[in-house]
């Protein structure tokens, strides 16, 4: 009983840390961007709520296309199991909670794999579908990065943003390389992972049998290799269709920021906002804090200070005449960080928690142990 309570308590830590860090960083940004004497003047901004409604709708549309992509990929790898569109949307929404409280959004992937397996897919096919999603996202973002660099060239003067983007792109490229290496050179990847495991096992207190670890590594790499080769050789049409769905999914996701800006009365260049989103996603994907809390807020503030600055110069804003250009830029950037996080991170957390509770009957005490137990059962069957 004590052991179970301990596991439940440790699961609560990333939830509290992620939400608390996000709130703290939002408050800090607001503190440094809004002067107390300017609050009454800022209240005169006419908020256009219809754009915030559109932002929420775009969020749901993005989830819907994500779900459709998952359905297309999972039905392709296991044609005998037909997962409905609504079922795949529910899987996507259930994964939002753990994705939102774990570094690099990595916590959502085991949830999607588990739920696909629960719906009838083999563990290998469920893993293939989710890893196929990751590969499509990586390819799409890799294509977008040069365009984002072209738009933002010489525009970002904030050192920590430049450092974050540089580190993020390096990690991103390494990940892409490992993905491709695992597809075309699986035996070498197995050897590398076994070598890394042997080095790390010296520092681990868990005594897991070496044969079991090696067997697991071999199985996972083989699953990944075989599933990716199925997509690239036998299911090219499916992979291209899923790629198109990836494009639509990300576009609607990135339009949320533009809807928030329009809702604040900031007319702007949507292309600039989308370029900022490309860099923001790369920064968020770095394994830093739970849910990338703090990192996201600083990234949004740094990237969108340029987008908003350009908007104020080209289109103007009523607040500029009241506060002056510099203070209006600071205030609008701080307010945007608040509204953007509310419409993305906190909406995702709430929706994800609701669907996770509906499926797992638990939120705060949810443990990844149920997924691990499922994997062990499958291994025994094999």
pTM, full prediction: 0.83
% residues pLDDT > 70 (the chain): 80
Least Cα distance to 352 among 57, 49, 9, 63 occurs for: 63
Over the stretch 209-230, which tens digit does the pLDDT of each residue have?
556 666 666 776 776 777 677 7
DSSP state string for 190-257: HHHHHHHHHHHHTT-S----HHHHHHHHHHHHHHHHHHHHIIIII-HHHHHHHHHHHHHHHHHHHHHH
Rounded Cα distance between 148 and 231, Å, is 28
Least confident of 213-217, 240-244, 293-297: 213-217
Residue 366 class from Cβ within 10 Å (0-12 exposed, 13-18 middle, 19+ buried)?
A: buried
354 CB burial (10 A radius; 0-12, 13-18, 19+): middle
Is 102:111 a contact under the CB 8 Å cutoff? Answer: no
Residue 22 near residue 293, CB atoms below 8 Å = yes
Q: Is the pLDDT confidence value at 5 over 90?
A: no
Here the tokens at position 147 are 């365009």
Which of 117-126, 136-145, 270-279, 322-331 is predicted least confidently? 117-126
Tokens 């580190």 belong to which residue? 167
The arithmetic mean of pLDDT across residues 10-19, rounded, is: 75
pLDDT averaged over the chain?
A: 81
Q: Quote the Cα angle for 128-224-286, to 5°.
A: 85
C-alpha–C-alpha distance, residues 358 and 116, integer Å: 16
Residues 134, 130: Cα–Cα separation, whole Å: 7
């Amino acid at each position: 009983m004590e052991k179970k309570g301990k596991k439940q308590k440790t699961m609560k830590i990333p939830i509290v840390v992620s939400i608390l860090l996000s709130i703290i960083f939002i408050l800090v940004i607001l503190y440094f961007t809004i002067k107390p004497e300017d609050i009454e003047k800022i209240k005169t901004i006419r908020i256009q709520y219809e754009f915030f409604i559109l932002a929420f709708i775009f969020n749901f549309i993005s989830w819907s296309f994500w779900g459709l992509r998952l359905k297309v990929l999972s039905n392709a790898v296991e044609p005998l199991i037909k997962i409905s569109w609504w079922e795949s949307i529910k899987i996507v929404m259930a994964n939002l909670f753990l994705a939102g409280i774990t570094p690099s959004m990595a916590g959502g992937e085991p949830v999607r794999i588990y739920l696909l397996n629960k719906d009838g897919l083999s563990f290998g096919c469920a893993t293939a579908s989710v890893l196929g999603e990751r590969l499509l996202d990586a390819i799409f973002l890799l294509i977008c990065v040069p365009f984002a660099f072209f738009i933002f060239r010489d525009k970002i003067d904030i050192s920590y943003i430049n450092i974050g983007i540089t580190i993020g792109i390096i990690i991103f490229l390494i990940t892409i390389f490992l993905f491709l290496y695992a597809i075309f050179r699986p035996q070498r990847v197995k050897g590398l992972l076994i070598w890394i495991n042997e080095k790390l096992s010296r520092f681990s207190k868990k005594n897991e049998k070496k044969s079991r670890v090696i067997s697991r590594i071999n199985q996972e790499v083989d699953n990944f290799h075989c599933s990716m080769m199925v997509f690239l050789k036998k299911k090219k049409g499916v992979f291209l269709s899923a790629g198109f769905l990836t494009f639509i999914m990300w576009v609607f996701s990135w339009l949320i920021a533009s809807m928030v800006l329009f809702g604040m009365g900031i007319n702007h260049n949507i292309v600039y906002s989308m370029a900022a989103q490309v860099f923001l996603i790369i920064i968020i994907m770095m394994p830093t804090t739970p849910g990338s809390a703090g990192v996201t807020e600083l990234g949004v503030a740094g990237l969108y200070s340029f987008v908003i600055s350009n908007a104020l110069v080209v289109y103007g804003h009523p607040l500029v005449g009241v506060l002056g250009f510099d203070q209006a830029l600071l205030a609008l950037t701080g307010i945007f960080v608040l509204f953007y996080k509310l419409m993305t991170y906190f909406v995702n957390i709430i929706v994800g928690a609701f669907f996770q509770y509906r499926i797992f009957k638990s939120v705060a005490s949810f443990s990844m142990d149920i997924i691990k137990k499922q994997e062990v059962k499958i291994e025994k069957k094999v």
